[in-house]
Amino acid sequence: MGSSSRANPKVALLMGGPSAEREVSLSSGRECAAALRDEGFEVVCVDAGPDLAARLIEIAPDAVFNALHGRWGEDGCVQGVLEWLRLPYTHSGVLASALAMDKEKTKDVYRAAGLPVVDSVLADKAAIRAAHVMDPPYVVKPYNEGSSVGVYIVPEGANTPPAVADDMPDTLMVEAYAPGRELTVSVLGDNALGVTEILTDGWYDYEAKYAPGGSRHVCPAEIPDDIAEACRDFAMRAHAALGCRGLSRTDFRWDDAKGLAGLVLLETNTQPGMTPTSLSPEHAAACGLSFGALCRWLVEDASCER
């Protein structure tokens, strides 16, 4: 964050914004603002809009805490504004944010780093509606959104392709369905935190992620030591290969019938949720780092060039 002569360093906390994940961001922002105030920071909450640059110039913060989620706030755009304004900010920079938001480009980076993934293609929405783009089972989802917004699962033996909604993007990702258990690892700086297993009654969708009781988290995951170690190693390698900074979270599927060969990476989130049901705060707590201490760490790690 750099030195500040203020008794209480001023933090501009970015939240809300125009993406499909606005409500999640507002929830994250409220939690982080309260925690940072308890840690002794002066916090100014900013609902990020077209006047963001002017607002930040007016506020003149010592650091910017980016609690935005989804496109614009998480894909390198806001990061570019903050670089231009020379304001220290949290989480990943322009390139890592843009790469990680694009799920297909993320997979290209994973492959180059020797990390295991399932096959996927980008396809036109009309083509996906017309016929199976790949043999079922497969998943259809936006390639540049998060929080499981707009996900279709096509089961094995399905006779017809999915009836993708009109409001979905024109280009979508079609990905081979990865069976097995849902695992996730947060990376903070140079350290991989615990491995969590996510248990739900069905697909880990938007409702399961953010509704109270929507999912159950087992941390540490009850998995063999070699799988836990592989998850931590793969998460660290993904964080480094994408060029992430601060906090990231990498999600996996593990087919336990196949051992280590059944472990694949799904995606890396450069700005994990910081809500009451979010995973990264749970990972930090399991390592003895309170929510307030986690937020403080992120602010103190902030810099102008990420």
Under DSSP, the state recorded for 71 is: T
Q: Looking at the DSSP assignment, which residues form a beta bridge with residue 122?
A: 173
Local structure of 264: helix, strand or coil: strand
Nearest to 228 by CA among 283, 174, 154, 297: 283
Q: How far apart are CA 8 and CA 104, in angstroms?
A: 42
Q: What share of the chain is helix, strand, coil (3-state, %, to 5)?
A: 35, 25, 40
Checking 157-161 for CB contacts under 8 A at 24+ apart, the result is 158/132, 161/128, 161/129, 161/130, 161/131, 161/132, 161/133
Under DSSP, the state recorded for 259 is: G
Q: Rounded to a whole number, what is the largest CA-CA distance in the chain?
A: 66
Q: What are phi and psi of 100, to 5 degrees?
A: -70, -30
Yes or no: say if 20 and 53 are a contact pair by the CB < 8 Å rule. no
Under DSSP, the state recorded for 44 is: E
The amino acid at 161: P
Name the strand (E) or helix (H) holding 111.
helix 103-112
Q: How far apart are CA 168 and CA 151, in angstroms?
A: 10
Q: Which residues are catalytic?
A: 21, 147, 210, 249, 251, 267, 269, 273
